[in-house]
A and B are shown apart, each in its own frame.
Chain A
Amino acid sequence: MVRASLMLLKDAGRGVCKSLSQILVCPLSKQPLRYSEETNSLISDAIGVSFPIKDDIPCLVPMDGKIIEADDMPKTDGAADLSSKNNQ
């Protein structure tokens, strides 16, 4: 019952409690983190590193971070426009 209560505190489909996600930052860059539902991880776009969430616990020890390959980084609007122009 306690576990169910814990889950209700989280956003639907989110691995981290909303109030916690608002105060967590990248331990290295101190910049905000972005939650990735696809990989259930916290992304530091500032330095291109992702931190896993395991058993609902964000793992934010610097050594836990994995460098995101360039192809996996989210494309900006500019990059997407450039890509579509090249394909024409």
Chain B
Amino acid sequence: MALCIPLPSCRFRHRPVRSSLERQELFGRIAPVYDNLNDLLSLGQHRIWKRMTVSWTGAKMGDCALDLCCGSGDLAFLLSEKVGSNGKVIGLDFSKEQLSIASCRQGLAPNACYNNIEWVEGDALELPFLMVTLMPLQWVMGYEMWLIKKEPCRRCSRVSVLDFNKSTQPFTNLIQEWMIDNLVVPVATGYGLAKEYEYLKSSIKEFLTGKELERLALQVGFSNARHYEISGASWGTW
């Protein structure tokens, strides 16, 4: 499966999104409690989802992997274990606060293979890489990762994405919205981050559905694309 990048000029509806600076500042604010909230809000399930996502990349010893929107590094660390000391993992995020946490975790971790991770502060929509130099590699994209609009890397092997899911079932979406309003936001309020998590509901509405994501991946050059709904269709990985 090749890696896609440019978003085609628009068979899909144009959606207004928060500015890059707003998103950057938002993730910077939630950085100190991001990991704890992930644990709490998913009841620890996010660890399983992330292992699934990484396993589907097919990353193996000696490979090079790129984790876009790596946040505090959960996926990068899992990739690091897969590719081993002879491999390389690059974790990229545009939040310096998240990267700082990732870097600290790396320094404190006893696992020597984590030495193969390099952190880069960057914008996934303006990547500081020449794609051709990263082949072959696997990409893992974390939360809130939009399809990126850059030059295609048609020879990368696999992309795996984990994110909230926009279901085609109205009832499922209703349950998801209820959980955000009545569980996620109240818990986040306790950390003083109500506004930062309130945006989730409107953000998810702007997502593409699983089928739309599959079609888009094929359209931009992937040979195969598959979207899986997980955790009651509130999340998806593809």
Are B88 and A27 in contact (CB-based, < 8 A)?
no
Q: Kindly provide the distance from the CB of B52 to the nearest chain A CB, expressed in whole angstroms.
A: 28
Shortest CB-to-CB span from A38 to chain B, Å, is 21
Closest B residue to A21 by beta carbon equals: B118
What is the chain A residue whose CB lies nearest that of B129? Answer: A23
Interface size on A, residues (CB 8 A): 28
Q: Which of A48-73 contact B (CB under 8 A)?
A: 54-64
Least Cβ–Cβ distance between A12 and chain B, in angstroms: 17
Contact string against A for B residues 185-222, beta-carbon threshold 8 Å, 1 for contact and 0 otherwise: 00000000000000000000000000000000000000
Answer whether A2 and B109 are a contact pair too, CB < 8 Å, given A26-B128, A27-B127, A62-B126: yes
- Residues 102-144 of B contacting A (Cβ, < 8 Å): 103, 106-110, 112, 114-115, 118-123, 126-130, 133-134
> In the complex the two chains form, what is the Cα distance from A80 to B64 in whole Å?
42
- Chain B residues lying within 8 Å of A9, measured Cβ to Cβ, are 115
Our pick among B88, B119, B134 for the contact of A57 (Cβ within 8 Å) is B119
Residues of A within 8 A of B118 (CB): 17, 19-20
Chain B residue nearest to A42 in the complex (CB): B128
A27 contacts B121, C-beta separation under 8 Å? no
Say whether A79 faces chain B, with CB atoms less than 8 Å apart: no
B residues neighboring A (CB under 8 Å): 21, 24, 88, 90, 94, 96, 99-100, 103, 106-110, 112, 114-115, 118-123, 126-130, 133-134
Measured between alpha carbons, how far is A24 from B120 in the docked complex, in Å? Answer: 9
Q: Given known contacts A5-B112, A27-B122, is B96 in contact with A63 (CB within 8 Å)?
A: no
Given contacts A19-B88, A24-B120, A26-B128, contact A57 B112 (CB under 8 A): no
Is A3 close to B, CB under 8 A?
yes
Judge whether A60 and B96 touch: CB under 8 Å. Answer: no
Q: Given that A5-B112, A61-B122 are contacting pairs, would A20 and B103 also be in contact in the complex, using a CB cutoff of 8 Å?
A: no
CB closest chain-B residue, reference A31: B130
Q: Which residues of A contact B99 (CB under 8 A)?
A: 57
Q: Choose one: B110, B126, B129; the contact of A28 (CB below 8 Å).
A: B126
CB-CB nearest 6 A-B residue pairs: A60-B128, A27-B126, A27-B128, A59-B121, A60-B122, A23-B133
Contact B129 A25 (CB under 8 A): yes
* A82 lies within 8 A of chain B by Cβ: no
Q: What string of 1s and 0s marks CB contacts (under 8 Å) between A24-37 and chain B?
A: 11111010010000
